[in-house]
Amino acid sequence: EVQLVESGGGLVQPGGSLRLSCAASGFTFSSYSMNWVRQAPGKGLEWVSYISSSSRTIYYADSVKGRFTISRDNAENSLYLQMNSLRAEDTAVYYCARGSPLGYCNAGSCHSSWFDPWGQGTLVTVSS
Amino acid sequence: DIQMTQSPSSLSASVGDRVTITCQASQDISNYLNWYQQKPGKAPNLLIYDASNLETGVPSRFSGSGSGTDFTFTISSLQPEDIATYYCQQYDNLPLTFGGGTKVEIK
Protein backbone atom coordinates (compact mmCIF):
# COMPACT_ATOMS: atom_id res chain seq x y z
CA GLU A 1 0.00 0.00 0.00
CA VAL A 2 1.30 3.42 -0.94
CA GLN A 3 1.67 5.54 2.17
CA LEU A 4 2.96 9.00 3.02
CA VAL A 5 3.33 10.04 6.65
CA GLU A 6 4.23 13.61 7.60
CA SER A 7 5.75 14.68 10.89
CA GLY A 8 7.47 17.66 12.45
CA GLY A 9 4.62 20.13 12.72
CA GLY A 10 3.93 22.15 15.84
CA LEU A 11 3.74 25.59 17.39
CA VAL A 12 6.54 28.02 16.53
CA GLN A 13 7.02 31.72 17.11
CA PRO A 14 7.14 34.20 14.22
CA GLY A 15 10.64 34.26 12.79
CA GLY A 16 11.31 30.73 13.95
CA SER A 17 12.17 27.58 12.05
CA LEU A 18 10.70 24.12 11.65
CA ARG A 19 11.61 21.05 9.62
CA LEU A 20 8.88 18.83 8.25
CA SER A 21 9.47 15.24 7.21
CA CYS A 22 7.48 12.88 5.02
CA ALA A 23 8.17 9.14 5.18
CA ALA A 24 7.19 7.24 2.04
CA SER A 25 6.48 3.54 1.69
CA GLY A 26 4.81 1.10 -0.69
CA PHE A 27 6.36 2.46 -3.89
CA THR A 28 9.75 3.17 -5.46
CA PHE A 29 10.29 6.59 -3.91
CA SER A 30 13.34 7.39 -6.04
CA SER A 31 11.26 7.17 -9.23
CA TYR A 32 8.75 9.88 -8.35
CA SER A 33 8.74 13.63 -8.01
CA MET A 34 7.30 14.94 -4.76
CA ASN A 35 5.48 18.07 -3.64
CA TRP A 36 4.40 19.98 -0.57
CA VAL A 37 0.91 21.50 -0.56
CA ARG A 38 -0.56 23.46 2.34
CA GLN A 39 -4.00 24.43 3.55
CA ALA A 40 -4.59 27.29 5.97
CA PRO A 41 -7.36 26.68 8.52
CA GLY A 42 -10.73 26.78 6.79
CA LYS A 43 -9.15 27.78 3.48
CA GLY A 44 -8.28 26.22 0.14
CA LEU A 45 -5.21 24.41 -1.15
CA GLU A 46 -1.92 26.11 -2.03
CA TRP A 47 0.97 24.37 -3.78
CA VAL A 48 4.22 25.14 -1.94
CA SER A 49 7.14 23.30 -3.55
CA TYR A 50 8.22 20.61 -6.05
CA ILE A 51 11.29 18.40 -6.21
CA SER A 52 12.15 16.04 -9.04
CA SER A 53 13.02 12.40 -8.42
CA SER A 54 16.75 13.11 -8.62
CA SER A 55 16.55 16.45 -6.73
CA ARG A 56 17.92 18.10 -9.86
CA THR A 57 14.89 20.34 -10.32
CA ILE A 58 13.23 22.32 -7.53
CA TYR A 59 10.50 24.95 -7.62
CA TYR A 60 8.83 27.09 -4.97
CA ALA A 61 5.74 29.22 -4.72
CA ASP A 62 6.63 32.92 -4.54
CA SER A 63 5.10 33.08 -1.05
CA VAL A 64 7.83 30.82 0.38
CA LYS A 65 10.77 31.40 -1.97
CA GLY A 66 13.93 32.25 -0.06
CA ARG A 67 12.52 31.01 3.24
CA PHE A 68 11.65 27.34 2.61
CA THR A 69 13.93 24.59 1.31
CA ILE A 70 12.70 21.29 -0.07
CA SER A 71 14.96 18.23 -0.12
CA ARG A 72 14.79 14.47 -0.26
CA ASP A 73 16.81 11.42 0.71
CA ASN A 74 16.07 8.60 -1.71
CA ALA A 75 18.07 6.11 0.37
CA GLU A 76 15.81 6.87 3.33
CA ASN A 77 12.57 7.22 1.29
CA SER A 78 12.05 10.62 2.87
CA LEU A 79 11.01 14.11 1.81
CA TYR A 80 11.74 17.23 3.84
CA LEU A 81 10.71 20.87 4.07
CA GLN A 82 12.96 23.22 6.01
CA MET A 83 10.94 26.29 6.92
CA ASN A 84 12.76 29.41 8.13
CA SER A 85 11.63 32.95 8.96
CA LEU A 86 8.14 31.66 9.61
CA ARG A 87 5.21 34.08 9.50
CA ALA A 88 1.68 33.93 10.84
CA GLU A 89 0.42 33.43 7.28
CA ASP A 90 2.42 30.17 7.07
CA THR A 91 0.01 28.63 9.58
CA ALA A 92 -1.51 25.64 7.78
CA VAL A 93 -1.74 21.90 7.47
CA TYR A 94 1.18 20.82 5.30
CA TYR A 95 0.68 17.81 3.06
CA CYS A 96 3.30 15.91 1.17
CA ALA A 97 1.99 14.54 -2.11
CA ARG A 98 3.49 12.23 -4.68
CA GLY A 99 3.78 13.64 -8.18
CA SER A 100 2.31 12.04 -11.27
CA PRO A 101 4.33 9.19 -12.87
CA LEU A 102 4.98 11.35 -15.91
CA GLY A 103 5.68 15.01 -15.46
CA TYR A 104 4.61 17.85 -17.69
CA CYS A 105 6.93 20.34 -19.36
CA ASN A 106 5.95 23.82 -20.50
CA ALA A 107 7.73 27.14 -20.88
CA GLY A 108 11.06 25.69 -19.84
CA SER A 109 9.86 24.01 -16.64
CA CYS A 110 8.98 20.39 -15.96
CA HIS A 111 6.85 19.50 -12.96
CA SER A 112 4.17 17.18 -11.62
CA SER A 113 0.85 17.01 -13.41
CA TRP A 114 -1.18 15.88 -10.42
CA PHE A 115 -0.81 14.89 -6.79
CA ASP A 116 -1.61 11.32 -5.80
CA PRO A 117 -1.63 10.18 -3.09
CA TRP A 118 -1.39 12.69 -0.26
CA GLY A 119 -0.24 12.19 3.31
CA GLN A 120 -2.51 12.88 6.26
CA GLY A 121 -0.90 16.26 6.86
CA THR A 122 0.93 17.93 9.74
CA LEU A 123 -0.24 21.18 11.34
CA VAL A 124 2.15 24.11 11.58
CA THR A 125 1.03 27.00 13.79
CA VAL A 126 3.02 30.22 13.78
CA SER A 127 2.04 32.35 16.73
CA SER A 128 3.55 34.20 19.66
CA ASP B 1 -0.28 33.10 -12.26
CA ILE B 2 -3.27 31.21 -13.68
CA GLN B 3 -6.37 31.93 -11.61
CA MET B 4 -8.89 29.10 -11.22
CA THR B 5 -12.43 30.22 -10.45
CA GLN B 6 -14.82 27.59 -9.15
CA SER B 7 -18.56 27.95 -8.82
CA PRO B 8 -20.62 27.66 -6.84
CA SER B 9 -18.62 27.93 -3.62
CA SER B 10 -21.19 25.70 -1.94
CA LEU B 11 -24.29 23.78 -2.84
CA SER B 12 -26.95 21.69 -1.17
CA ALA B 13 -28.62 18.84 -3.05
CA SER B 14 -30.71 15.75 -2.35
CA VAL B 15 -29.49 12.17 -2.54
CA GLY B 16 -29.84 11.03 -6.13
CA ASP B 17 -29.57 14.53 -7.60
CA ARG B 18 -27.22 15.44 -10.42
CA VAL B 19 -24.59 17.88 -9.19
CA THR B 20 -22.48 20.09 -11.45
CA ILE B 21 -19.48 22.22 -10.51
CA THR B 22 -17.69 24.55 -12.91
CA CYS B 23 -14.09 25.68 -12.99
CA GLN B 24 -12.86 28.52 -15.18
CA ALA B 25 -9.19 29.19 -15.89
CA SER B 26 -7.89 32.72 -16.45
CA GLN B 27 -6.16 31.53 -19.64
CA ASP B 28 -6.20 28.54 -21.97
CA ILE B 29 -4.88 25.46 -20.17
CA SER B 30 -5.91 22.88 -22.79
CA ASN B 31 -6.99 19.81 -20.77
CA TYR B 32 -4.37 20.19 -18.04
CA LEU B 33 -6.94 20.14 -15.28
CA ASN B 34 -7.53 17.78 -12.36
CA TRP B 35 -10.29 17.36 -9.77
CA TYR B 36 -9.88 16.37 -6.11
CA GLN B 37 -12.29 15.42 -3.34
CA GLN B 38 -11.54 16.40 0.25
CA LYS B 39 -13.73 14.93 2.96
CA PRO B 40 -13.88 16.74 6.33
CA GLY B 41 -10.67 16.30 8.31
CA LYS B 42 -9.01 14.27 5.57
CA ALA B 43 -6.41 14.81 2.87
CA PRO B 44 -7.51 15.49 -0.71
CA ASN B 45 -7.97 12.56 -3.05
CA LEU B 46 -7.48 12.62 -6.82
CA LEU B 47 -10.70 11.80 -8.69
CA ILE B 48 -10.16 12.97 -12.27
CA TYR B 49 -7.01 13.85 -14.20
CA ASP B 50 -6.53 15.51 -17.56
CA ALA B 51 -10.03 16.98 -17.38
CA SER B 52 -11.95 13.79 -18.09
CA ASN B 53 -10.00 10.69 -17.04
CA LEU B 54 -11.36 8.83 -14.03
CA GLU B 55 -8.70 7.73 -11.56
CA THR B 56 -8.64 3.99 -10.90
CA GLY B 57 -11.13 2.94 -8.25
CA VAL B 58 -13.22 6.11 -8.45
CA PRO B 59 -16.96 5.44 -8.89
CA SER B 60 -18.33 6.05 -12.37
CA ARG B 61 -20.92 8.55 -11.08
CA PHE B 62 -18.08 11.08 -11.10
CA SER B 63 -17.11 12.64 -14.43
CA GLY B 64 -15.32 15.63 -15.86
CA SER B 65 -15.30 17.49 -19.14
CA GLY B 66 -14.04 20.61 -20.82
CA SER B 67 -10.94 22.12 -22.36
CA GLY B 68 -9.41 25.53 -22.87
CA THR B 69 -10.75 27.72 -20.09
CA ASP B 70 -14.05 26.11 -19.09
CA PHE B 71 -14.39 22.83 -17.24
CA THR B 72 -17.21 20.89 -15.59
CA PHE B 73 -17.26 18.28 -12.84
CA THR B 74 -20.41 16.19 -12.42
CA ILE B 75 -21.77 13.75 -9.88
CA SER B 76 -24.54 11.94 -11.75
CA SER B 77 -26.37 10.72 -8.66
CA LEU B 78 -25.32 12.28 -5.36
CA GLN B 79 -24.65 9.80 -2.56
CA PRO B 80 -24.31 10.51 1.19
CA GLU B 81 -20.61 9.58 1.07
CA ASP B 82 -19.99 12.33 -1.51
CA ILE B 83 -20.24 15.02 1.15
CA ALA B 84 -16.96 16.84 0.68
CA THR B 85 -15.24 19.86 -0.77
CA TYR B 86 -14.16 19.54 -4.40
CA TYR B 87 -11.19 21.36 -5.92
CA CYS B 88 -9.97 21.83 -9.47
CA GLN B 89 -6.22 22.22 -10.13
CA GLN B 90 -4.32 23.30 -13.23
CA TYR B 91 -0.84 22.17 -14.19
CA ASP B 92 -0.23 24.04 -17.43
CA ASN B 93 1.98 26.60 -15.74
CA LEU B 94 3.82 27.14 -12.50
CA PRO B 95 2.75 27.93 -9.89
CA LEU B 96 0.35 24.99 -9.82
CA THR B 97 -2.93 26.51 -8.69
CA PHE B 98 -6.22 25.30 -7.28
CA GLY B 99 -9.74 26.61 -7.46
CA GLY B 100 -11.29 27.95 -4.27
CA GLY B 101 -13.30 24.80 -3.69
CA THR B 102 -16.97 23.80 -3.77
CA LYS B 103 -18.51 22.45 -0.60
CA VAL B 104 -21.21 19.87 -1.33
CA GLU B 105 -23.84 19.17 1.31
CA ILE B 106 -26.94 16.99 1.49
CA LYS B 107 -30.27 18.79 1.58
Sign of the torsion formed by the C-alpha atoms of A74, A70, A95 and B46:
negative
Burial label for B89, CB within 10 Å (0-12, 13-18, 19+), is buried
Alpha-carbon separation of residue B50 from A21, B63, B65, B88 (angstroms): 29, 11, 9, 11
Q: Would the pLDDT of A103 be above 90?
A: no
Q: Does the distance separating the beta carbons of B45 and A95 come in below 8 Å? A: no
pLDDT tens, per residue, chain B with 107 residues: 999 999 999 999 999 999 999 999 999 999 999 999 999 999 999 999 999 999 999 999 999 999 999 999 999 999 999 999 999 999 999 999 999 999 999 99
Which residues share a beta bridge with B6? B23
pLDDT band at A101; cut points 50, 70, 90: confident
Interface of B with A (CB under 8 A): 32, 34, 36, 38, 42-46, 49-50, 55, 87, 89, 91-101
Number of H helices, E strands in chain A: 0, 13
Residues A38-67: tens digit of each pLDDT: 999 999 999 999 999 999 999 999 999 999
Q: Does the distance separating the beta carbons of A59 and B45 come in below 8 Å? A: no
